[in-house]
């Protein structure tokens, strides 16, 4: 289980798993708009981290970021740490 502390969003943390093929599982946002974040979690389940990064990176809401953008940043950070 990977935990990422968000910056500039209503959600405070994102918790997720990546399997050996960098596919995303068990995404949970702590805080934020529950319905929307549950939807994002279901939509990204089983997708590759690279695909989700390309889809969500750069989406803006408040403070020049958003919960989807923060998920993309969390995934990027995790992939870089595995290199």
Q: Indicate the pLDDT class of residue 83, thresholds 50, 70 and 90.
A: confident
Indicate whether 62 pLDDT > 90.
no
Report yes or no on whether pTM surpasses 0.75: yes
Q: Where are the beta strands (DSSP E) in 1-83?
A: 2-5, 11-18, 24-31
Quote the mean pLDDT of the chain: 97
Which pLDDT tens digit goes with each residue over 20-57? 999 999 999 999 999 999 999 999 999 999 999 999 99
The sign of the dihedral angle between the CA atoms of 76, 54, 26, 83 is negative
Enumerate domains of the chain plus CATH numbers: 2-82 (3.90.1010)
């Amino acid at each position: 289980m990977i935990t990422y502390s968000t910056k500039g969003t209503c959600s405070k943390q994102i918790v997720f798993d990546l399997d050996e093929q960098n596919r995303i599982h068990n995404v949970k946002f702590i805080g934020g708009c529950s319905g929307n974040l549950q939807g994002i979690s279901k939509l990204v389940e089983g997708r590759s981290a690279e695909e989700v990064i390309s889809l969500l990176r750069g989406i803006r809401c408040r403070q020049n970021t958003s919960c989807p953008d923060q998920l993309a940043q969390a995934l990027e950070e995790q992939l870089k740490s595995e290199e």
